Amino acid sequence: MMMESTYTRHREIAWRGGHTSSTSRLIAEESAIALTYNGSTHAVMMGTPADLEDFGVGFSLTEGIIARASEIASIELISNELGMEVRMWLNGDRAATLAARRRAISGPVGCGLCGIESLEQACRAPSRVEGPGLAFHARDLLHAMQALSPLQTLNQHTRSVHAAAFWHPRAGITLVREDVGRHNALDKLAGAIVSEGRSASDGAVLLTSRVSVEMVQKAAMIGAPVIVAVSAPTALAIRTADEAGITLLAIARDDGYGVFTHPRRVLLPEEAAPRVGC
């Protein structure tokens, strides 16, 4: 759901081509978003104040706080002069588990590991993604990425936000979520998928950002077998995708992309397929 508060107009003195002009520009909003569970703050993130219920559910899922959306008994959005609060109440067992591992996170946009207390938490083993028989045509995945840009409503206005989308081979792009933070956009997408009772196991997650390890970990938590991103992955992201069984495609441009892990899910044209022994 798009909200008017996701962007505002600001005056700008533009200097381009050696000439100065007075103009204005639509700028993406950025707000403090507190995620609270059973009355206690667990994380404070900076993000776009839209689709916050999806954000709460998705963050809870990808961070391993819940295993399914139904474990959140209730969710409420509270606004004040400092930002937004996503107030969630967990069912008994999940509340007790969270209390045992309580930690606080406070960090800037794009910081996906703020507040992690140990190297083991940062480098946790990813969830294993199944579906070995799944395969998509190479050009279909390319066309999916090309179709994403016109669907980025907020970015069309501001040119400053990331998107995460879900693509299905028969239905096309079915969900798009945007945020100034790439991790937040993926969390919002994860929340939308599980809240609508969908599965991520028969399609691909599309990202307009680089692929870092935590992006792969989050995709693995929702069982996404394929990730396609416009920017390059990190080496740790590649190793993690390989371990998780995820097919990782990156550096997606108009003329193609690179396949870094589990290429069996990408049906490449015969002339592009690697030769035996190469």
| Residue type at position 15 | W
Count CA atoms closer than 13 A to 250's CA, side-chain side.
Answer: 20
Structure tokens at 212: 């870092």
Structure tokens at 237: 């992201």
Structure tokens at 217: 């970990």
Closest by CA position to 268, among listed 277, 257, 276: 257
Active site residue 114: no
Contact between residue 145 and residue 230 where contact means Cβ atoms under 8 Å apart: yes
Count CA atoms closer than 13 A to 45's CA, side-chain side.
Answer: 27
Q: Considering 111, 114, 123, 278, which one is annotated as catalytic?
A: 111
Tell me the C-alpha distance between 121 and 234, whole Å: 18
Catalytic site positions: 111
